[in-house]
Chain A
């Protein structure tokens, strides 16, 4: 099956710093990537939908200036958490699809801890 990777798998940073998380589709071209946030013992909440070469579409309540998403190529999308605060600590998961209407393939997730 299709493989999606995320880097890093775990990151700890100080409050006020920025953190970049990468999502890569390893064996297919992803026209669309999704970014989710998952708090402990809770479900995945969609943050934004990212299409290659265009601006991301953010869900209601998600600050686009805080969570910067770039989808510069068909195999890479990045999520940058700017000026991170402890409340941003969470498990961030990306998924990718090869064309709208196809199955989402999920990355293994990135655990962010902000001190």
Chain B
């Protein structure tokens, strides 16, 4: 079954530093991949989505992610962290039985902390 693995349950960076959140996927078919952000006690907001159109995907709030098939990775990056980026980030993959990608499976999440 398809799944995503997020390396590092907690990442801490300084304000202005590079943000790198890691995600590896396993899927037997070309997947749709997502990154979501969750602020405390709130629902999820879509940051970006990979649908095979382009390997480098740009999202909201300055985030982007690159799909690397050879590494089965979809890491999330942002050149310069802001205090407001502190949140929980979830990588997700589409259910391979659902080609429309409406049903998705979430990774375990990475909590991003920003140091002043």
Chain A residues at the B interface, C-beta cutoff of 8 Å: 4, 6, 32, 34, 41-46, 49, 93, 95, 97, 100-104, 106-109, 111
Contacts and interface: CB of A to CB of B under 8 A. Distances in A.
A106 B103 contact: no
Interface of B: 9, 36, 41-46, 49, 90, 100-109, 111
Contacts of B44: 44, 93, 95, 106
A77 to B, nearest CB: 14
Contact of A100 (B41, B90, B102, B108): B102
A104 B104 CA distance: 9
A42 B43 contact: no
Contacts of B108: 42-43
Nearest to A107: B43
Contacts of A100: 100, 102
B43 A108 contact: yes
A103 B47 CA distance: 12
Nearest to B107: A43
A49 B41 contact: no
A109 B9 CA distance: 22
B41 A109 contact: yes
B88 to A, nearest CB: 9
Given A43-B90, A43-B108, A103-B46, A32 B102 contact: yes
Given A93-B43, A101-B102, 6 more contacts: A6-B43, A34-B103, A42-B108, A44-B90, A109-B41, A109-B43
A101 B42 CA distance: 24
A40 to B, nearest CB: 11
Given A43-B90, A107-B43, A108-B42, A102 B109 contact: no
Nearest to A99: B102
Contacts of A97: 102
